[in-house]
Structure 1
Amino acid sequence: MDQNPIKRLDGIIASLRSENGCPWDRKQTPESIAVYLIEEAHELLAAIESGNTEDICEELGDVLFQVLFIAKFFEEKGLFDIEAAARKSAEKMIRRHPHVFGDVTITETEAVRRQWHEIKKQEKNGRSGSVLDSVPRNMPALMRAYRISERAARTGFDWDDMGGVMDKVEEEWSELKAEIGKNGVEPSRSEQRREQIALEFGDVLFTLVNVARFARIHPESALVSATQKFERRFHHLEQTAEATGRDIDAVPRQEKEQLWNQAKKIPPKDGPQS
Structure 2
Amino acid sequence: MKETKTDRWNAIEEILRIIERLRSETGCPWDRKQTPETIQTYLVEESHEAAAAVRAKKVDEVAEELGDVLFMAFFLVYLYEQRGDFSLEEVCRRVSEKMIRRHPHVFGETSVSSAEEVKDNWEMIKAQEKRASGKTQTEPVPDSLPALIRAHRILSRLSQKDDANWNDLLKQGREFAGESKELASKIESGRLDSEDDLGRLLARLVNIARLKGYRAEDILHNFLRKLE
Task: Normalising by structure 2, report the TM-score.
Answer: 0.90
Match among 120, 124, 131 for residue 125 of structure 1: 131
**CA distance in 2: counterparts of 1:115 and 1:6, whole angstroms:** 33
Taking the aligned partners of 2:118 and 2:140, their CA distance within structure 1 comes to 19
Q: Distance in 2 between matches of 1:101 and 1:43?
A: 34
Residue 47 of structure 1 pairs with residue 44 of structure 2:
no
- Given the alignment of the two structures, is residue 215 of structure 1 paired with residue 221 of structure 2, yes or no? no
- Asked if residue 68 in structure 1 is aligned to residue 66 in structure 2, the reply is no
The reply to whether residue 180 of structure 1 matches residue 177 of structure 2 is no
Rg bigger for which structure? 1
Matched to 1:165, the amino acid is Q
Following the alignment from structure 2 to structure 1, what is the Cα–Cα distance between the partners of residues 187 and 214? 30
SS of the counterpart of 1:125?
helix
Matched, 1:26 2:32: yes
Q: Which amino acid aligns with 1:177?
A: A
User: Which ranges in structure 1 are unaligned for 5 or more consecutive residues?
Assistant: 186-192, 232-274
Q: Which secondary structure state, in structure 2, belongs to the residue aligned with residue 47 of structure 1?
A: helix
Aligned to 1:250: none
Higher relative contact order (CA 8 A, sep 6+): 2
Q: Distance in 2 between matches of 1:182 and 1:132?
A: 40
Return the match for 2:158 from 130, 152, 157: 152
Residue by residue, what CA displacement relative to the aligned partner does 1:195-238 show, whole Å, maximum 9, x if unpaired?
A: x2x1100000000001101111111011100110000xxxxxxx
Alignment correspondent of 2:106: 100
Supply the AA of the counterpart residue of 1:162.
L
Identity %: 40
Superposed, 1:162-177 pairs within 5 Å as 162-177=169-184
Mapping for residues 232-251 of structure 1, pairs under 5 Å = none
Q: Is the 8 A contact 1:132 1:148 kept in 2?
A: no
Q: What is residue 3 of structure 2 aligned with on the other side?
A: none
Structure 1 length as normaliser, TM-score? 0.75
* Alpha-carbon distance in structure 1 between the residues aligned to 2:26 and 2:182: 62
